Amino acid sequence: MTQPDPVLEVLPRDLSAYRAGNTGIDYVHRFDSGRPGPHVLINALTHGNEICGMVAATHLLDQGVRPTVGTLTVSFAHVEAYHAFRPEAPFDNRQLVHNLNRIWSDEWLDGPEDSPELRRARELRPVVAAADHILDIHSTSQAVAPFWVYPGFERNARAALAIGALDRVTVHLQMPEGLGSGTPLIQHGRHGQPDAGAGVALVAECGQHFLQATAEVATAVTLDFLAYFGLIAPPGHALPPAARQRRFELLRTCMVQTPEFRFARPLVGFETFAQGELIATDGAAGELRAPCDDCTVLMPTRAPIVGREAVYLTQPLPG
């Protein structure tokens, strides 16, 4: 199935001015207000081609946004992959070897393997561990509505519901049992634990890669995340009309197992299937069928690659 070429409205910019930072770790900037309050991490470029996070992070730094309480850390994560961007192949620099957003377990971080992603995750490990609350900014390969992704803890849902009401990010993907294909940054350490004292950790999928509207959502969500925890004053934008919050529960993360993987019909995300309905075929690995009625697919792969994620299977939650 041929996918249309993406619209490249927002392209990478030179980040060399942001390399030095002030933490001893390249591309990591920390600002301590000197007053008690939470430590909030805004993390961009977990994937090299998800440029909206770069726009939001540089906005904070260029506009001199500083916390009035607590501590703000701004991180550009996978700058090496970001530098590998080519307009003629804008999806190829998502990662170089490993998916930086699937290796945040002790097994990977303390293990023997090496890659650009593992080296960077090991550098950023103390940055992530130090944060009370984390916003990890992402975008999607397909043109779908922005949505949240988070471990299914009440603390995460409460924050996402409040912030999303301001920014029209009113779709939620909750992970009650984790992702199933590795450990994302927002589940590293205590943020992956149900302990009530642990902090909020959210992924914001802000829209399709490379669109100006996606960058605008990323910046708005970032500012409202900081305001939610009291680090800055509320940005003051007008409240949008109330929108129904839609919540989905992750049932299964499906991986591409053979080069013959094919979806049964073109998918961009949020399509629904009846129980038993064919979603995809995967060569000798067999068929992928919906495990329940109203099975909703999220994040269908644009170009199947063996060993990478094919699609998330979810079910809608009431309320």
120-146: b or e for each residue (b if 16 or more CB lie within 10 Å)?
bbeebbebbeebbbbbbbbbbbbbbeb
Angle between helices 212-228 and 52-62 (to 10 degrees): 50
CATH fit for domain 251-317, picks 2.40.50.630, 2.60.40.790, 3.10.20.30, 2.60.40.10: 2.40.50.630
What rounded mean pLDDT belongs to the chain?
94
Q: Are 281 and 261 in contact (CB under 8 A)?
A: yes
C-alpha distances (whole Å) from 114 to each of 3, 119, 120, 126, 127 are 33, 7, 10, 18, 20
Q: What's the pTM value of the predicted model, to 2 decimals?
A: 0.95
The number of angstroms, rounded, from the C-alpha of 117 to the middle of its chain's C-alpha atoms is: 16
**Tokens 């802000």, located at residue:** 206
Give residue-wise pLDDT tens across range 81-90: 999 999 999 9
Give residue-wise pLDDT tens across range 100-114: 999 999 999 999 999
Per-domain residue ranges of the chain: 16-228, 251-317
Pick from 50-64, 128-142, 162-176: least confident = 162-176
Please give the average per-residue pLDDT across 238-243, as a whole number: 61
Through-space distance between the first and last CA atoms of the chain, rounded to whole angstroms: 36
pLDDT of 240 reads 60
pLDDT of 198 reads 78
The alpha-helical segments, DSSP class H, found in 111-211 are 116-130, 154-167
Cα 206 to Cα 212: distance, rounded to the nearest angstrom: 11
pLDDT of 166 reads 82
Instruction: Say whether pLDDT at 241 is over 70.
Output: no
**CATH tag, 16-228:** 3.40.630.10
Instruction: Say whether pLDDT at 44 is over 80.
Output: yes
pLDDT of 237 reads 66
